[in-house]
A = this chain, B = another copy of it.
């Protein structure tokens, strides 16, 4: 049983599972950053953030509430 848990802990998707409902920073290929509560993701790394805001060079550009981000534009996801 423990072995199974350990195996599962080794997949990148587990970081996203553990970050669910927590605030994460998402960086896109075009240089934009989105910070928000991670509500959902899938195997393509499409994700949904809630209470999200967009930042550029550390500054808040705008608040956008709920947002769907397409996986192939994402560089990284990091718990805040």
Contacts and interface: CB of A to CB of B under 8 A. Distances in A.
17 contacts: A9-B40, A12-B41, A12-B48, A12-B68, A14-B40, A14-B48, A15-B40, A15-B48, A16-B68, A29-B73, A34-B76, A45-B70, A65-B79, A66-B79, A68-B77, A68-B78, A73-B75
Q: Assembly of this chain: how many copies?
A: 7
A30 B75 contact: yes
A9 B40 CA distance: 8
Interface string A28-65: 11100010000111100111100000000000000011
A11 B71 CA distance: 13
A75 B66 contact: no
